[in-house]
Every structure is written in structure tokens, then in C-alpha cells.
Amino acid sequence: MCNIVFAYGAQPGYRLILAGNRDEFYDRPTEPAGFWPEHPRLLAGRDVRYGGTWLGITLEGRFGAVTNFRDPGSQRDHLLSRGLMLTDYLLGVKDPETFLADLDRAGDRYNGFNVLLDDSSGLFYYSNRNRRWRELDKGIYGLSNHLLDTPWPKVMRIKALFRDILDRETHPSVDSLMTVLADRVRPADQTLPDTGVGVDWERVLSPVFITSPNYGTRSSTVLTIRDTGEVRFTERSFTSPDDPGTDVEWAFTLGR
């Protein structure tokens, strides 16, 4: 994932409401979200190149999402795929704190990342860039390619649009949340972060929904988990800048 907004325990009746975009090169092979044949209790998209995922949830309620930390100067090509780390958690049995403690000792095996982990007992955040994990309090959060709630324009905008939906809709619709994820407003140059990719790329990467000839938003995901355990997972996948998107939708109750 590259831009996520989520309400954790902050909307009556919902444990989690999450909306997020995954941005990637269009030619990187990807499978849309589905239950994996070899792991039929895991619902996730799949990075065909390395076999990992960027966001997933199991029928038991193990949830995870990962974003890259944008720092091209520290990028190393030989390190492990961050999606494999997330898949290890989703398919494992360790609670988030134990998993993150182990991950912290091995965090240098991966390029920079942020990760959200949940096992229905608590939602945790960790980055191998500040080497700290914490259990999140109830609230609304934004996460892109820097630390949690870093006030990049795209993070502030997606949070504002998201809050507006939650204020207007007691039960936010998938369509409303997908509209948030489809926002293409580009902020002014003087507000852009300087992450080492140059101003032209900062402009390309600045909207909530990214388009360019070769790179852009590949999937938009809306996930809701009700207090009753009812899960709704909707993913809209894109294969080119002009693709209107193809939807898959799943619904189930945790523990069944």
C-alpha cells in the first residue's frame, strides 16, 4: 500500500474502517484479492513477482497492511520483499507484539517500511525507520510512505475527505469510500515533501490516486470490520492509467 486512511474504534458499530491505495508499476504482475488456494483462510491480493501481499485478512481476524518508506538513497536491491514479511505474519500464529519484537531484530533485511498488524485484540503500528512499535489508541489515522500521520498533503487530504464521509454516513458506503480513494487533486508545489525523487516525481506521487504512463494506483481497497465480526472487503484493480477498474468483493464473519 502507498496511502491508507483508517478509523480504529472511532465509528460507532465498527472496529475498523480502512481505505487505501496500492501504487505500483503497471507491468508488475499482480493477482487481485481472493482467498489463496494453498491458504484458503487468507484473503489478500498477491504480488506475483515475489509471492507476498500488501494487505490481507484471515477468517480468524489476523489483519495486516504494509507501506514502503520512500527514501531512495537508502534503497538496496538485494533485500527481501516487504510483502513476504506481511504474509509471514498473516499465515503465522504470533501475536503482533511478539511478531514485531522479532521483526525489529531482523528489520534491516528489508528496505524501509511501515506495517499495521492486528489479531482482533489490538492494532499495532511499526516502522523499521524509527524502530518503535506501539498499540494504537482509538482514532483516525493516515499512513503513506513516511511515518504514521506524517502531514504530507496527500495524507492530510485523504484524512479530511475520510472524516467528511464518516461525519455524513453512520454506515459509510463502499462507493463513498472509493470516491475518496479516487481523488486526483494535486497539491501546490510549495507544499510537497522532498523525499529525494525530484520535483517532477513528487508531483506525480502527490495525489491520493496516482496516474502516469508507467506507474500509478493499481488497486483501491475498502475494508470494514463491524463490532459483530462482520467483514466486508472490496478491491478495485487497475491495469493502466485509463482503466476504469475491476471490482471484487468478499463478505464473511470472523471465526466462521
Q: Is 163 helix (H, G, I), strand (E, B) or coil?
A: helix
pLDDT at 26: 97
pLDDT at 212: 97
Per-residue pLDDT tens over the stretch 71-126: 999 999 999 999 999 999 999 999 999 999 999 998 889 999 999 999 988 999 99
Selection from 219, 222, 218 nearest residue 231 by Cα: 222
Average pLDDT value for the chain: 97
β-strand pairing of 246-253 with 230-237:
antiparallel
Range of the structural domain that residue 220 is part of: 3-253
Three cell numbers, residue 99: 511478531
Domain count, the chain: 1
Per-residue pLDDT tens over the stretch 150-203: 999 999 999 999 999 999 999 999 999 999 999 999 999 999 999 999 999 999
- Residue 131 sits in a domain whose CATH number is 3.60.60.10
Three cell numbers, residue 147: 511515518
pTM exceeds 0.75, yes or no: yes
pLDDT at 156: 98
Selection from 232, 239, 230 nearest residue 178 by Cα: 232
Selection from 177, 237, 215, 254 nearest residue 46 by Cα: 237
Average pLDDT of span 2-23: 98
Maximum Cα interatomic distance, the chain, rounded to a whole number of Å: 50
